[in-house]
Structure 1
Amino acid sequence: MSSMMVGGVGMAILLALLVLRVPVAFAMFAVGFCGIAVLNGIPSAMSLLASESFTLASSAELVVVPLFILMGNVASATGMSSRLYDAAYAIVGSIRGGLASATIIGCGGFAALSGSSVASALTMGKVSLAEMKRFNYDSRLSTGAVAAGGTLGILIPPSTGFVIYAILTQQSIGRLFLAGVLPGLMLLVLFVLLISVMCWLRPELGPSGPRTTMREKTKALAGAVPILSVILLTIGGIYGGIFSPVEAAAVGAGLMILTGALARKLTLGTLWSATKDSVVTTATVMLILIAAHLLNPFLALSHIPQAVGTFLGGLDIPALGVLGLILACYLVLGCFIEGFAMLVLTMPIFFPVITMLGFDPIWFGVLVVVTLEMGLISPPVGVNVFIVKSVAPNVPLGKIFIGVLPFWGAMLVALGLLVAFPQIALFLPNSMIQ
């Protein structure tokens, strides 16, 4: 059997394991290790397993993952994240669809703390769904807004998706974080505009919420000042060149713990719970990355990436046409494969093609993360949809998927704008990091 056939069989087995819901890391470990053993012998597979595990586990860059996750978990455990929603609620809640718009804004703010889409959807769902139900919001709009707003967690920095992309492609985490700012804000604005138009056309979808006085608005904004200060200091420190991403993660986690303690919201019990959740999430990410670095040599030995690159490069279509095919593959795969698994599986195959065609890898990283976001609300996997379902068990799953469709369309518009105008993503990294 040729190396190409071994690679094809390995990838088929991997996809089958993922469809059967075998944990991503374990599936990649099994296929990567066995594939290398078949092509290069068991001693080579054992050597790579030991060396790649040590290399990844000792990588200083990956310290950002547990620290930013801890920052978001502390904010959630102490209830400080709900103040972001309260502030947005006080400002825009009184207009049609205002509570749904406040949910989107709250998700964007929490995304700048946690870097996790699941955490954003879960936290804001608990805070906002009951309020929208109280004011008779259509369940499709309310659940769709939470599921779609949560996807901002892997686009607005600090983004776990950008960290994994950076490790897989040897790109700068700082530049990727900068590149995600304007696209993230653009997508947030598109979501809010979409809600406004939908509620203008059909007022029954999102009735007006209660009016708030200037004093109530000021009080709500004042309550969000501590958490907004932490966001501005940590993320602004990266943009201003004061901190590296690792230093910013440490500062952010430390400040969030200090803020919670001073506000008497953080007990030893909540700190322990937040730390334990952070360790579990970090271990999951680390296992996926180590497994990816075992799978990549197998793919290289099978020559599949080179064959795909040669095929795509030989197509008689423009470079943007090849890019379109790659993005279309991501959109289709996102319907069946969890986002990080898709990222790890496809980067060794598609990234060499992107560099060969001369596309900017930072820009491509933003495009990929947007497609990962779309996968988070695409049936049948739609992780964020199932998260919202757990918070709103009385809403049928079909209704939630119908509710996210307009937001999926807004994401497609955002993707088209980013392809047409790459400077939306590249302006900040090119102007602030030379």
Structure 2
Amino acid sequence: MTTHDAVSLPTLRATPFDPPPALAELRARSPLSRLRYPDGHLGWLVTGHDLARKVLADPRFSARSEWKRNPVARRSLEPFYGAKALPGWLVDMDPPQHTRIRRRLARAFTAHRMRTLRPRIEQIVSRQLTAMAEAGDPLDLVAAFALPVPSLVICELLGVPYSRRADFQRDSATLFSLDATAEQAARAMDDLQTFLTELAAHKSRRPGEDLLGTLASDGELSVAEIAGAGALLLSAGHETTAGSLGLGVLALLSHPDQLARLAEDPGLADTAVEELLRYLTIFQFGVPRSALEDVPLAGETVRAGESVTVSLPAANRDPLRFPDPDRLDVGRNASGHLAFGHGMHQCIGQNLARTEMRIAFPALFGRFPRLRLAVPAQRLSFGGDTGFYCVHRLPVSWS
């Protein structure tokens, strides 16, 4: 494979729910393609499912932020990559720093912990549905349900005042936007870090039973690390689930046969959530890695220092792993999908996101069985301009 074969990352979608068709064309030729990054660097793009799992599980591919490259152009300087990771931002670290911080955080996100949180999440969902009913239709489901539910849950888990939601939601949206200026991105990062640093310092003086308070009381992490981990969990923890809820509702409304199956058999909720995660794969531009040494891969050699982008949307539509992958099937066994990544950096909050979605979808359609779009689908706006694919507004009716 020569440098002349290099392509830019395909980003143009033909339909709202499907990845760019050019990704499938590349994958059909090879699971590994030459990729030209916006800064001119020549690296690699992984589009096959098996190869994606191999790269994400291979310690020879680093997650350190100072070596990462964004495969899509941003209007401003990249706020996450090109410099040493902020304290606590474990997604941008390799072992042993990553291992030490993740081990401490993981205790709050076990399947057992999610079972204990389930009643509280059910209360939050029920309260938002009641507020929707009282407000009446039509309304924006993103603003009324998809965004506040995960925001309330992550605030309660971390011990963050929900009254600050407007600030952290704005800062998170700015950080993940491709259109933010350098000044806007820097100010958003600084505001978010300052807020969490002040909160972590307060928790160290008066620790509580929430995650930030627990971290502050056990003394294993510094205030700066607690603040950074909190900023990461707070920003990514509500943005990703909000996107999955909003887009998931739209996908079900757009596939009435699948919505009917779910309504007739509530036992399909778990498999339906996994299928929606696979089908939508909202982390749309892929996971960046950097080769620490020469690595033979798919008949090629990835040289030390070269960047590799693992396309999760392409891997989750690989027909060699998921037959008829472009079809939404709420009864499909979608286990092994890569919506949460894979390997040591697999999303630490995946159990929380699954629990929220397993509760939210049945509760929403159970409360509003006649839920439908209040505007033509063609008028909806989607988040091609942000790291997490989403529908920006989702006007719905039910009466």
Q: TM-score, normalised by structure 1?
A: 0.29
Instruction: State the structure with more CA Rg.
Output: 1
Which structure has more helix as a fraction of its residues? Answer: 1
Which structure has more strand as a fraction of its residues? Answer: 2
